[in-house]
Amino acid sequence: MIDYGKQNVLGVGINAVDYESAVQKIVTAAHARRPLTVTALAVHGVMTGALDAEQRHRLNEIDLVVPDGQPVRWALGWLYGLKLPDRVYGPTLTLKVCERAAQEGLSVYLYGSRMDVLETLAANLREKFPTIKIAGMQPSRFRQVSAAEQAEIAQTVRDSGASFVLVGLGCPRQETWVYENRDLLSMPLLAVGAAFDFHAGTVAQAPAWLQSRGLEWLYRLVQEPRRLWKRYLYLNPLYLTLLLLQLLKVRVVALQETVPPHEQMRYG
């Protein structure tokens, strides 16, 4: 297992870990019924924190932030000389955690997306891991919820007996969700982004050769240009520029340079 601890990438703390270490942390917390917030950040996720001090605070309060994108993994090498064998890709991490859960009798709760996606995802997980226990599922309400609704959602998850929750709300809503629900749910909460759509088969993943070269963004941009053009054509060059400034020590944002959110977003 590889674990070099949390490192500063543009003011956002990224855990320099491999799959084995990440999965073990999650499974250990699930068995202990201990809170553990987790997210897998690619460039877009890092940039939500780099450009917003409140979101940076949320991200830096998350317990385990793994390098989902190759450019995030490369940044750990450029800035700190850390040579991770691979990124910790959210969809792959999802499958590895579910595999261990099936082996060790842990149950999973699915939260987010639409009910048709959740039902297909659950069926596909059961086909891949026949002994997996799906404790329950709730689709996103696609809006902000009240404090009472937030408490109701958390109570439903607790009553299900789930060992951990997979959260698919999209970035940055899912990171906000795990941050705001950590104290309500005494279990690991994993923000896994596009993993729901990928494993339900509603969105195609980029070929492995594109992923390994850090070009998954190009594949997704071609698929959804209207929705994603700003994310990739603006944020990617800005990410590289800010990385260069950090590498040259011209602009270094400390992990403590955050602003606590002035209110809860309560995404549902």
pLDDT in tens, 68-124: 999 999 999 999 999 999 999 999 999 999 999 999 999 999 999 999 999 999 999
What share of the chain in percent tops pLDDT 90?
A: 86
Quote the pTM value: 0.94
List pLDDT tens digits, range 32-44: 999 999 999 999 9
Read off the pLDDT band of 203 (50, 70, 90). confident
Bridge partner residues of 3 (DSSP): 17
The length of the chain, given as a count of residues: 268
Q: Which helix (H) or strand (E) holds 168?
A: strand 164-168
Bridge partner residues of 134 (DSSP): 108
Read off the pLDDT band of 229 (50, 70, 90). confident
Per-residue confidence (pLDDT) for residue 66, from 0 to 100: 98
The residues, any chain, with a CB within 8 Å of residue 210's CB and separated by 6 or more, are 216, 218, 219
Q: Checking DSSP bridges between strand 133-138 and strand 188-191, what pairing results, if any?
A: unpaired
- Is the Cβ–Cβ distance between 190 and 94 less than 8 Å? yes
**Average pLDDT over the chain, rounded to whole?**
94
Per-residue confidence (pLDDT) for residue 233, from 0 to 100: 81
pLDDT of 201 strictly over 90: no
Per-residue confidence (pLDDT) for residue 231, from 0 to 100: 73
List pLDDT tens digits, range 138-148: 999 999 999 99
Section 187-199 average pLDDT: 94
Per-residue confidence (pLDDT) for residue 234, from 0 to 100: 87
Per-residue confidence (pLDDT) for residue 8, from 0 to 100: 98
Per-residue confidence (pLDDT) for residue 205, from 0 to 100: 74
Per-residue confidence (pLDDT) for residue 210, from 0 to 100: 66
13-22, 53-62, 196-205, 212-221: which has the minimum mean pLDDT?
A: 212-221
Residues 20, 231: Cα–Cα separation, whole Å: 30
- The architecture in CATH of the region 3-197 reads 3-Layer(aba) Sandwich (3.40)
The residues, any chain, with a CB within 8 Å of residue 124's CB and separated by 6 or more, are 199, 200, 201
Residues 6, 14: Cα–Cα separation, whole Å: 5
